Structure 1
């Protein structure tokens, strides 16, 4: 170690090291142009993050919200005199377990009927895909797995995902089936009982696209986990003369961002049974798509901007949770809602857009940069979730808050939500009873 080193040797090593570093940076600027070398460079660049996450697994985990919020008490608040007979299925951070869990909560008294905490790491051990988009062993451990838009099933179990395989568990958390891949955002049930799920390919096979390109798709499946069809959004757009919406712009790994697939309830003046309303966030675009023919029968971009959660109100109106973004395309980290979020209503009959809850959204300062839900409920009420700020509430048609739930610990530290689902006491009676009566070892 004390042996003298010639100055020329030190200079040569430093020069070669600098050249190697410059070359590495050059490849990382456009890794997709360098094939396997680019993939290797991206992998090397992620090593510090991987090591950091591994170390983080050894440290206490308390994923509170980092943005400003009112330090209000957590839990359910109910307006005196109003009794909601329904339930909600929501993802919360369980401080005692140190992990995210799903709770089935009864709204009339705030009682948690069942808590789901599956051994998701053991379930994901059956997965075989490899992707630059997600590393299940690193990113989706038991304590970091945040179930999104969980669906209650008749046996009291759930279907869950979190940018991960789609998995059905029973009421005790045991896996019934798993569809490998990357599923995200919405999971919806069609009138015929089949399901529609949003997914991404682990790695796109299209030429000219990087390893982190989000190649989105619609999956049609049965509750038993049988895949009926897969439709790539890119193919859907290209086949309907809309490919320019994602091709004719600066390259982005996430040009589409599919976030909602909503089956229509049946035949109507403006749609047919089997049609789907589709939300493409990064195009600020809604589609009415007919899988039977492969045709887009209606589309509209704006006035919503980077919207989530399109829903059917009646036979001629739809509602949209509008994140109402104000941002520069090349600086998405600066994106923010322009004031507050909005719930917009589009009327097919008059081709007009209204904002019936404008005053309520303003007064309640509903402001989630990403995510968000505005789901119609029986009687004209709306379930609104302010995802990033951990608040969900039921609003009357005049904007009155009938109840609200805040995800927070005893010290009023706030946690995110993950697309709370309203559970109807009649339509989901069998599943509720099965969840309540299940006995687990």
Structure 2
């Protein structure tokens, strides 16, 4: 039946009103996180991820593990290991965690290289033996710690396990759980890492959990009052009458925890042996907490941005891997927690580009050199105190891609109790 002009006018007004209301609700839902904005956002992110990484998820090509060698797009065909002529190299071994360069297997490995750049050992990391529920190609080997008996402990991004394997990659113990990012030895038979939002200590011999400190319940709650706002920088406006703030998605992104060892505690009069330093990427926060009370002894937001890997040093300072996300140049910063004095130890240069917008590790070596993990370009380099390259290594996958490196670690020539790890099979003597 044909509508009259007045009916058409009313219907048009209804449609315009509905569109206007939908538009207003769409803006409000995006702003406040109401339905369906989170669901639409999640669907969009999922589609982008699947469309980019479907080959990885089918086990065809490890696209989740591949990165460009540099920011310029100018890829050297002979990239790999480079030792600068006349450079003073720290003697010892370098362990590098990531995906194998063997395109036939694409397994997780920890590789170890000698002073001449040659590989001297590798540990196969068989994730499917620790967790049968997540395809190995969909997790990324991240945290890594090495022991004098030739074994290593590893954690995984987007994985659900932590495990210790012997020199041949055979499982010594494994524990299911959302363990992630760094692992640090405590020096007293334990290792510290993150499990979700818990700072946890595991027995290094068994994997048994001996201490657990929850970020929200044990630390934020203990610092309620004047110090509460240290943690409440990524929150929504209160929606309820009680005024309680709600946290945004991944409000903290914990990525490191390290215990202050007794032999170093004297250099930090503000702290006590056993205190824990942790890093929350999303808050640009590095802090030291008393694990017995949850009370913060020291904290600072920035000037680092999306930082990783804060380390205690014997001179009473702390160094931090400042990703400086979005700036195009990462930095190593040093801060004195007593007076706040800060220096930039290394920021790269035109001759030595240095930028990883996420991930990244650093380690000061006995001779003053620094080992740097440029994760998002798949490169490890050792620099001297003047910022000159001693050596560099691209973890090459193919002509245009490197493999992401999540951890590189130096150990001395005398670190291993029985010499270099080996997996040689000795036949039984009858």
Shorter-chain TM-score tier: 0.7 to 0.9
> How do 1:102-251 residues align onto structure 2 when only pairs under 5 Å count?
102-125=109-132, 136-137=133-134, 141-163=135-157, 164=159, 165-200=161-196, 216-224=197-205, 225-235=207-217, 236-241=219-224, 242-247=227-232, 249-250=235-236, 251=247
Contact residue 219 and residue 230 of structure 1 kept, 8 A: yes
The residue number in structure 1 matching 2:85 is 80
Q: Higher Cα Rg: structure 1 or 2? A: 2
Deviations 1:275-318 (A, max 9, x none): 12111111111111121333211111121111111012223211
> How do 1:33-72 residues align onto structure 2 when only pairs under 5 Å count?
56-58=56-58, 60-63=60-63, 64-65=66-67, 68-72=72-76
Cα 1:257/1:52, change in 2 over 3 Å: closer
The alpha carbon displacement at 1:240 in A equals: 1.5
Q: 3-state SS of the aligned residue for 1:304?
A: coil
The alpha carbon displacement at 1:96 in A equals: 3.1
Work out the number of aligned pairs and report it.
371
Could you tell me how far apart the structure 1 residues matched to 2:307 and 2:110 are?
A: 27
Could you tell me how far apart the structure 1 residues matched to 2:51 and 2:85 are?
A: 51
Could you tell me how far apart the structure 1 residues matched to 2:105 and 2:185 are?
A: 31
Contact residue 113 and residue 119 of structure 2 kept, 8 A: yes
The alpha carbon displacement at 1:422 in A equals: 1.6
Cα 1:42/1:394, change in 2 over 3 Å: closer
The residue number in structure 2 matching 1:354 is 343
Could you tell me how far apart the structure 2 residues matched to 1:70 and 1:168 are?
A: 39
The alpha carbon displacement at 1:33 in A equals: 8.3
Could you tell me how far apart the structure 2 residues matched to 1:382 and 1:52 are?
A: 35
The alpha carbon displacement at 1:437 in A equals: 5.1
Deviations 1:397-423 (A, max 9, x none): 111211111111352532211121222
Contact residue 87 and residue 424 of structure 1 kept, 8 A: yes
Could you tell me how far apart the structure 2 residues matched to 1:343 and 1:69 are?
A: 25
Contact residue 92 and residue 411 of structure 2 kept, 8 A: yes
- 5+ residue gaps, structure 2, are 1-21, 237-246
With the length of structure 1 as denominator, give the TM-score of the two structures: 0.74
Could you tell me how far apart the structure 2 residues matched to 1:110 and 1:258 are?
A: 33
The alpha carbon displacement at 1:65 in A equals: 1.6
With the length of structure 2 as denominator, give the TM-score of the two structures: 0.76
Cα 1:397/1:55, change in 2 over 3 Å: closer
Contact residue 259 and residue 280 of structure 1 kept, 8 A: yes
Q: Which moved more, 1:187-196 or 1:237-246?
A: 237-246
Cα 1:321/1:440, change in 2 over 3 Å: farther
The alpha carbon displacement at 1:30 in A equals: 11
Could you tell me how far apart the structure 1 residues matched to 2:50 and 2:402 are?
A: 26
CA RMSD of aligned residues (A): 3.3
The residue number in structure 1 matching 2:331 is 342
Cα 1:42/1:310, change in 2 over 3 Å: closer
Could you tell me how far apart the structure 2 residues matched to 1:372 and 1:50 are?
A: 25
Contact residue 74 and residue 409 of structure 1 kept, 8 A: no
